[in-house]
Every structure is written in structure tokens, then in C-alpha cells.
Amino acid sequence: MEETIPGTEAAQIPQQRGTSLLETAVRYAEERHWDVFPGTWLVPADGVQRCSCGDPACAAP
């Protein structure tokens, strides 16, 4: 029987689906329910993902 140390398993790397690095990062964060910036999240607006802070020029996302 092989012994393993709990928590040492490698996280699965998301597969590229012919998308940009930004799209892959967004999907990765969404799949794990991660906040993009503490207290904010991504929201769809006009077909693109934007920061929930409401500032269209937000540099955080």
C-alpha cells in the first residue's frame, strides 16, 4: 500500500479550450469560486467580464 501525505496532490491544471489567457484565468477563478479582488467578483456586462466595483476602467480584473 502506498502512503501519501494529505494535501500533497497536485491541483488539476485547466485545459485550454482555444481561449485567451484572460478567458482561461476567468474560467479558472469562476470554477473555484475565487474572488477576483477581495470583496469583488466578475460580472458579465455587454458580453465581457467586468469588476463588480462598477468602475468601467477598473484595473483589478
pLDDT of residue 31: 93
Query: What is the chain's Cα-based Rg?
Result: 16
pLDDT tens column, 5-32: 666 566 666 565 677 888 888 888 889 9
* pLDDT tens-digit readout, 26-56: 888 889 988 776 777 888 888 888 888 888 8
A 10 A CB-CB count for 43 gives: 13
